Amino acid sequence: MSLLSRARTLAVVMLLGVSLAGCGYNTIPTLEEQAKAKWADVQNNYQRRADLIPNLVATVQGYAKQERDVLTAVVEARAKATQVRIDASQLTDPDKLKQFQDAQNQLSGALGRLLAVSENYPDLKSNQNFLALQSQLEGTENRIAVARRDYIEAVRVYNTALRTFPSVIWASTAFRGNKPMAEFTAVEEAQRPPQVKF
């Protein structure tokens, strides 16, 4: 193959690469990877929360020995939440995401009960370790909310690309195996208006 022929082949390959990039071929894989990265951030923040719980339980346990049921519920909910794992390949399965979400919601409820119990123990509420853990947990809950929001947005963009022109052409040809990703849904309690009683 002559130098001129190699140069032409290289030029054609480069032109083909530029035209493919310009026509949206890379859109679907790029958006899919962004959504997976956002999912990793969600998991990271849930893991951070799970890592804080043993210290919080130990601190409360020292002050509220009679609250064994609440402490046990938190430990069990944490164990269940850390067992339900979803890797990036399972993000298209809404049932798997629901299992994950249900386990995390159960843990959130147990933590809420644990923090409510702390109101009955003034010494616990003034303990510096407890206050620091409670503050870290609140910060982590905020991070979880932001990570979930970012994941939902990344999934929305990815799922939209699978159904809109011009990327729908690539979705139906080169990326035929790509399925829409599942999104978080609001828990049933959040969809009902709060009952106000006086």
Residues with Cβ within 8 Å of 69's Cβ and at least 6 positions away in sequence, in order, are: none
Q: Which domains does the chain have, with CATH numbers?
A: 27-188 (1.20.1440.20)
SS3 132: helix
pLDDT, position 190: 53
Q: In angstroms, rounded to a whole number, what is the distance separating the alpha carbons of residues 62 and 60?
A: 5
Q: In angstroms, rounded to a whole number, what is the distance separating the alpha carbons of residues 55 and 60?
A: 9
pLDDT digits (tens, 9 = 90+) for 125-169: 888 989 999 999 999 999 999 999 999 999 999 999 999 988 999
Instruction: Give the tokens for residue 152.
Output: 């939902």
Rounded to a whole number of angstroms, the CA Rg of the chain reads 24
Q: In angstroms, rounded to a whole number, what is the distance separating the alpha carbons of residues 197 and 187?
A: 22
pLDDT, position 106: 94
Read off the pLDDT band of 198 (50, 70, 90): very low
pLDDT digits (tens, 9 = 90+) for 98-131: 999 999 999 999 999 998 888 888 888 888 989 9
Read off the pLDDT band of 37 (50, 70, 90): very high
